[in-house]
A and B are shown apart, each in its own frame.
Chain A
């Protein structure tokens, strides 16, 4: 009997949270008095791929050595697909991203140094360029690419 009650309680809670998530997915309405962190998990299970952009973007890491900025290969520290790196580096789980990016720049500085490349500064920059029908980097030209600084860590 206890198992039965537990099972149905679990089921009703599951259906209720799914319903809350569905209300938000379909109508952008949050059910009052229901804590959002409990609903997030259910919402995220029914809401992939909602929008598109006309530009491609990439977080670029650069290190300063002998007065020149050199590009740091991020894939050695983020061994993921291009899409996963793009999403991860947005740091969208964090409300305040600045300290996270600063920590990332610090970490990159020390990891690069351990690999024999010592930089006096490491900076993170978002590069954005128009999408091209011919390839991911085909629109990545000097004239069409915009760069916006994210953070700089000085040793």
Chain B
């Protein structure tokens, strides 16, 4: 292989890499993702409204944690506030999520919601240290650098008279980042189960269905007693979770649809048997695995060219 050939191949790779990650394309998918995530996060935060005082102020049991990367001079940011300040911060969060959902000052709204979510994470949510809170924060950061307000937004309604009208192609970068993160989440979660000691038998499911997360339906099922079917179920979960992250990217045949269907079934079962509902937002987020071009073509087809 000559140096010029190596150089040529490298160049081709970088062109393809750049095109895949950052090309300009239709804004529909990110517009829908923004509205869906915004509405989900709005619900997630709004249900805390009656408890703001005891959750996030000196009136409650609140133990902030300073992140290791935070300079000492900024530690005052994470001092537990008094109830009035806590209510103001919370109100800003809710307003930012409303404007994000409807697509009004979209980027600024996402950035404000990102900053306040980060603040809440270290103020209180760190004690719950969940994957979904971190995923939500990442998605808000990605939305704040996206042009997700270019479709299905108040901004478009103001500009063009309809939220469904649009003009500007947008970078695919935010969509790819979300898709990458979802893939890696399923990938890590699935593959570690292949060797984690706890996941080598049905006992994992059996005991989880009697634990702190268990729903009444889970207890109803465990009340029938142990069965080897728990081994089968755990192995099925492992197979599904290993299959899902790859399937999302395989456009041949029906593989992608089977993967998404598997994801749907998996999350529905998790929600029915365990009070772990926060990952359900991943289901509509599977939209990021479709290319903006194919989604746009599909939209035109189903709307008989009424929607561009």
Contact = CB atoms under 8 A, between A and B. Distances in A.
17 contacts: A7-B22, A11-B21, A21-B184, A22-B187, A35-B68, A46-B187, A49-B189, A52-B204, A79-B50, A79-B51, A79-B55, A80-B128, A86-B212, A88-B128, A94-B63, A104-B61, A133-B219
A45 B204 contact: no
Interface string A11-44: 1001100100110011000000001011001001
A25 B219 contact: no
Contacts, number: 144
Given A44-B131, A47-B189, A79-B55, A91 B210 contact: no
A103 interface: yes
B131 A91 contact: no
Contacts of A4: 22
Given A11-B21, A56-B212, A87-B129, A22 B54 contact: no
Contact of A52 (B195, B211, B226, B275): B211
B265 interface: no
A133 B61 CA distance: 33
B280 interface: no
Contacts of B275: 81-83
Interface of B: 18, 21-22, 50-51, 54-55, 60-61, 63, 65, 67-69, 126-131, 134-135, 138, 173, 177, 180-181, 184-185, 187-189, 191-192, 195-199, 203-204, 207-208, 210-214, 219, 222-223, 225-226, 274-276
A151 B107 CA distance: 47
B69 A38 contact: yes
B61 A48 contact: no
Contacts of B126: 93
B127 A91 contact: yes
Contact of A56 (B69, B199, B211): B211
Contacts of A80: 128
Given A14-B180, A82-B213, A107-B61, 5 more contacts: A47-B131, A48-B131, A52-B211, A84-B128, A136-B219
A135 interface: yes
A108 interface: yes
Indicate the member of B129, B138, B225, B226 with the most A CB atoms within 10 Å: B129
Contact of B138 (A37, A45, A86): A45
Contacts of A103: 63
B54 A52 contact: no
Contacts of B68: 35, 37
A94 B223 contact: no
B131 A88 contact: no
Contacts of A15: 180
User: Which 10 A-B pairs have CB atoms at the shortest separation, nearest pair first?
Assistant: A46-B188, A37-B68, A51-B198, A133-B222, A131-B210, A83-B212, A52-B207, A88-B127, A83-B213, A86-B212
Contacts of B51: 79
A88 to B, nearest CB: 4
Given A93-B126, A108-B61, A26 B188 contact: yes
B147 to A, nearest CB: 12
Contact of A11 (B177, B188, B210): B177
Contacts of A84: 128
Contacts of B135: 45
A53 interface: yes
